[in-house]
Chain A
Amino acid sequence: MGGYLQDAGFYESIGLGDQFRPRQPKRERVDLVHIRTLEPFFVDGLLDFLETAQPFAPGLKPSMRMSLLELVQNFAEHSNSTSGAWAAGQKYRNRITLCLLDLGKGIPNSLRSVDRYRRYGDPHLIELASEEGVSVATGRGRGLSIIRRFVRINGGTMTIISGRGRVRFRPDRRPIGDQIDGTFPGTAVFLSLIPTQRGLFVLGDEENSGTH
């Protein structure tokens, strides 16, 4: 992850450029974008770039647009970040990787404001946040759960890092959670997708819409 953020220019944008020198770019990528409001043109621009680098399978683009819009919206709503959020994307081999992150409150801290979640560790809370219906007081916990389902159908992966926790979501496996060294002051979500997989995301009919 460090090299990816380094390549994307994240450390420079938060004033730590001296400690993390950018490497020579080797991959087709979208440079880091700083997002302060939910702007669909950013998402559409990112998707257009990625589609140029690697044509999408039919039906994939709406699912990807939905996932990105939802991630950006979630960041805008839940992070309490005063500095906005950052996003970047790249094509690497047959995959495209997207990353969104903020330096806000973080998922574990947000969930711990609710009594019933107070005793759980950070990885467990991140996993809970990706389940349908789990959200802080508002009942808005659909975003990550839908993205998680989409990524699974596409045969991709999602990794969420927040606070001291990291959870990896992979197809056909249970989520794997662990603690990271140190603390990430916010939330970072990494999606890795195979754009040539059919991955058609027919909600409510997932059993019939597996990857081909």
Chain B
Amino acid sequence: MARIEVKTQLGNDVVSREHGERMRTLLEQALEKSESVVVDFAGMQITSVSFFDESFGTLAKRYGDDLLVKIKLEEIDPFDLALVRDIVASRARAAKKTRLGKQSAR
């Protein structure tokens, strides 16, 4: 199982969409090599919609709700966990709606 340590690999001030892109790249690389990934948020409180949307939200468009089955979140702050779940659910829902719309248009 691949492992990403956020504080070590992305630094202390993880807030921006650019940080989210770096996180997404790390996740994509890890998911290519392994069925599941552990992301360790120890010592972090991120509270950034941009960061989580760019990383987890973008991947949720591809993987849907299964994303959080493939990715285990460890030591994550409760607020951040609620934020990630909300963003993943919202992006997965929107992606599903888009797919269904395209199918019905055919």
Binding site for B on A (CB under 8 A): 38, 40-41, 59, 62-63, 65-66, 69-70, 73, 77, 132-133, 140, 142-143, 146, 201-205
16 new A-B contacts, CB < 8 A, other than A142-B90, A204-B85, are A38-B16, A40-B13, A59-B79, A62-B77, A65-B47, A66-B48, A66-B79, A69-B47, A70-B48, A132-B90, A140-B17, A142-B53, A142-B57, A201-B79, A203-B86, A205-B82
Please state if B48 and A73 are interface contacts (CB–CB under 8 Å): yes
A73 is contacted by which of B15, B45, B85 (Cβ under 8 Å)? B15
Chain B: residues with CB nearer than 8 A to chain A? 13, 15-17, 45, 47-50, 53, 57, 77, 79, 82-83, 85-87, 89-90, 94
Do A69 and B15 form a contact, CB below 8 Å, given A142-B53, A143-B50?
yes
Q: How far is the CA of A201 from the CA of B45 in the complex (A)?
A: 15
Q: State A203–B81 Cα separation when bound (angstroms).
A: 9
Which of chain A's residues have a CB closer than 8 A to the CB of B85?
203-204
Name the residue on A nearest B97 (C-beta). Answer: A133
A142 touches B82 (CB 8 A): no
Residues on B with beta carbons closer than 8 Å to the beta carbon of A69: 15, 47-50
Task: Name the A residues within 8 Å of B86 (CB-CB).
Answer: 203-204
Contact B48 A204 (CB under 8 A): no
Residues of chain A contacted by B13 (CB below 8 angstroms)? 40-41
Instruction: Please tell me if the beta carbons of A202 and B82 are within 8 angstroms of each other in the complex.
Output: yes
* B15 engages A142 (CB within 8 Å): no
Residue of B nearest to A143 (CB): B49
The 5 closest A-B pairs by CB, nearest first: A203-B86, A62-B79, A66-B47, A204-B86, A73-B50
Residues of chain A lying within 8 A (CB to CB) of residue B79: 59, 62-63, 66, 201
Residues on A with beta carbons closer than 8 Å to the beta carbon of B77: 62
B58's closest neighbor in chain A, by CB? A139
Given A66-B48, A66-B49, decide whether A204 and B89 contact each other with a Cβ distance below 8 A. Answer: yes
Whether A203 touches B47, Cβ cut-off 8 Å, given contacts A38-B16, A73-B17, A142-B90, is no
Chain B residues in 8 Å Cβ range of A40? 13, 15
Asked if B15 and A146 sit within 8 Å, CB to CB, the answer is no
- The answer to whether A142 touches B45 (Cβ under 8 A) is no
Say yes or no: A73 contacts B83, CB within 8 Å.
Answer: no
